[in-house]
Chains A and B, each alone.
Chain A
Amino acid sequence: MTPDAALIRYVTRLGDNSLILGQRMIELVAASPELEEELANANFALDYIGQARMLYTYAGEREGRGRGEDDFAFLRPEHEYRNLLLVEQPNGHFGDSTVRAVLFESFYVLLLDALTRCGDEGLAGIAARAVKEVRYHLKHSSQWLVRLGDGTEESHARTQQSLNDLWRYTGEMFASDDIDKIMRDEFDGPDLNVVAEQWRKAVAAIVSAATLELPEDGWMASGGKDGRHTEHFGFLLADLQYMQRTYPGATW
């Protein structure tokens, strides 16, 4: 794989993470536990959709085949989406979506921060904008994790269960593949081993503040980065792609 091809795939993959998490958060609209949380969720989902747009647009420009943001977002088959399995997991209850946000965002903020210093100017620029947004999201999701973990007996038990259930999707974040290696070697991209260490420390601190237990590292699910998804993903895509698939070629 050429460095350029790897960069395009890397950028698309970042776009996929943003889009799919954004789409999941959108499913939560009008279902939040508090009105203030309704605003926060929509605001953060909007950030993710915005990031996906910037990343897909940039991938399309680098690719030079005339594909725009909507071609990436709506017109690819399932196996071409390369998001982490974690972000496609169903929303579940508020504890589940909060844990999912904390686990992903504490990783994503480190990744984006490293990407602000990468050798590709276009990607570094997008990362610089996105990292500010995600840093704020993480602050919000961590505060909720602490409230839930250190709230009532019920909230503690539910949230610990969420953490145990979603832990298996965290290994994939740090499993470096060819694309990650080319990004690191050719573009001064993030070293996932370093990110993994930093992530572990950050997550351990939040989990401890929430009076929860860090789960043991057991079997880890993988496949998202290779386009092998969980069963939930097809339904998410059916919803996402419905209009573009039903009315091919129309302008909206």
Chain B
Amino acid sequence: MYTQGLDQAGKSDAAGAETKQQLEAFQARIDTEEKIEAKDWMPEAYRRTLIRQISQHAHSEIIGMQPEGNWLTRAPTLKRKAILLAKVQDEAGHGLYLYSAAETLGISRDQMVADLLSGKAKYSSIFNYPTLTWADIGAIGWLVDGAAIMNQIPLCRCSYGPYSRAMIRICKEESFHQRQGYEIMLTLARGTDEQKAMAQDALNRFWWPSLMMFGPSDAASKHSAQSMAWKIKRFSNDELRQKFIDVTVPQAEYLGLTVPDDKLRFNEETGHYEHSDIDWQEFFDVISGNGPCNEQRMAKRRKAQDDGAWVREAAKAYAAKKLAEEAA
């Protein structure tokens, strides 16, 4: 998902000063579905897990503006342009609330941005794929936002209060995004042969990367068990992925599009779709920096940061001058 890099993050060295009693009392609060708030005591590992997860989510929103922003100047109608612009603006807004939610855990936005730019922090692998046609904007809304919602709805019940509350608003907006994406696909599917081909091509390219958004299979996911116990995570990667496939395949059928998986079939007994194995090598390549657009996305983010340095300095200098004037 937007925080799939967590599953590879590795170390979780809890601070030694935490007593068994404190940890048990904390877990008891979690077990009774109490929300943990910013000023409450929490285990260091819980705090760090949340900082990683929320900041990765925020970074994903910010980097995610790029593949869609790629079609803003070329959107085919004024209505589509306005809708896409509003959507990209929502993503900037999501980034902003999420950075703020993470800041309640004692890390600054500047630090999180520095970690993104240095490559220390991750963002979702999906945004390292290119948007080559207008249909990709439809596919992103339908599949990528659709997959994001699957993961994010349970996060509205996450044990950490500020994150769960931010997710409630984000999910409402994501749901609009998903519908606008599907509506683009529907329009293309009912359009000319060229438009239908464009829609099919977008599905072909975005299907597997969308499934990878849920992160590695449960067997390979290192942090899932602890996150589940802390109620940061409510469902496993594979459960959410299956739920997404079950919901999405009939939508593709309704569009008259073919899901690019020869082994896809509905199992009457389980009530679920079965699918081919996911190419995890591709997933690990992309999250470790070797996707089609990793370099490009980071270069653009760094350039914006560098180009804006003199502006931020000016704003700071001006604010300091005004403060000094007021004090005088």
Contact = CB atoms under 8 A, between A and B. Distances in A.
Contact of A29 (B65, B95, B99, B313): B65
Interface stretch (A48-56, A125-133, A184-192): A48-56
B61 to A, nearest CB: 10
A9 B190 CA distance: 36
Interface stretch (B72-80, B235-243, B276-284): B72-80
Residue among A45, A69, A244 having the largest count of chain B Cβ atoms under 10 Å: A45
B317 A152 contact: yes
Contacts of A244: 76
Contacts of A252: 76-77, 80, 134, 184, 187
Nearest to A95: B311
Interface in B308-322: 308-318, 321
Nearest to A249: B192
A73 B315 contact: no
Main secondary structure of the interface of B (DSSP, over half): helix
A251 B183 CA distance: 12
Contact of B69 (A29, A150, A154, A251): A29
Interface string A1-32: 00000000000000000010001001101111
Interface string B297-328: 00011011001111111111110010000000
B78 A42 contact: no
A85 to B, nearest CB: 19
Interface stretch (B49-57, B85-93, B170-178): B85-93
A74 to B, nearest CB: 8
B195 A250 contact: yes
A27 B72 CA distance: 8
A46 B86 CA distance: 7
Contacts of B78: 19, 49, 52-53, 56, 69-70, 73
A94 B85 contact: no
A240 B74 contact: yes
A209 to B, nearest CB: 11
Nearest to B75: A243
A35 B74 contact: no
B311 to A, nearest CB: 4
A42 B77 contact: no
Contacts of A247: 76, 192, 194-195
Main secondary structure of the interface of A (DSSP, over half): helix
B3 interface: no
Contacts of A154: 310, 313-314
A133 B174 CA distance: 26
A32 B309 CA distance: 10
Nearest to B87: A42
B321 A150 contact: yes
Given A158-B310, A252-B77, A35 B318 contact: no
Interface residues of B, number: 49
A48 to B, nearest CB: 10
Contacts of B76: 74, 243-244, 247, 250, 252
A39 B82 CA distance: 14
B191 interface: yes
A155 B311 contact: yes
A36 interface: yes
B82 A50 contact: yes
Nearest to B311: A33
Nearest to A156: B314
Interface in B117-139: 134
Given A151-B317, A239-B74, A242-B74, A250 B192 contact: yes
A221 B183 CA distance: 45
19 contacts: A30-B300, A31-B303, A33-B304, A33-B307, A34-B315, A35-B62, A42-B89, A45-B85, A46-B82, A49-B82, A49-B85, A74-B77, A147-B318, A148-B311, A152-B310, A155-B313, A243-B75, A244-B76, A252-B80
Interface of A: 19, 23, 26-27, 29-36, 38-39, 42-43, 45-46, 49-50, 52-53, 56, 69-70, 73-74, 93-95, 146-148, 150-152, 154-155, 158, 239-240, 242-244, 247, 250-252
Interface of B: 62, 65-66, 69, 72-82, 85-86, 88-89, 92-93, 95-96, 99, 109, 134, 184, 187, 191-192, 194-195, 300-301, 303-304, 307-318, 321
The list of the 5 closest CB pairs from A to B, nearest first, reads A33-B308, A151-B314, A155-B314, A42-B89, A243-B76
Given A49-B85, A148-B314, A155-B317, 14 more contacts: A29-B72, A30-B88, A30-B304, A31-B303, A35-B109, A49-B78, A53-B82, A147-B315, A154-B313, A154-B314, A155-B310, A243-B74, A250-B191, A251-B191
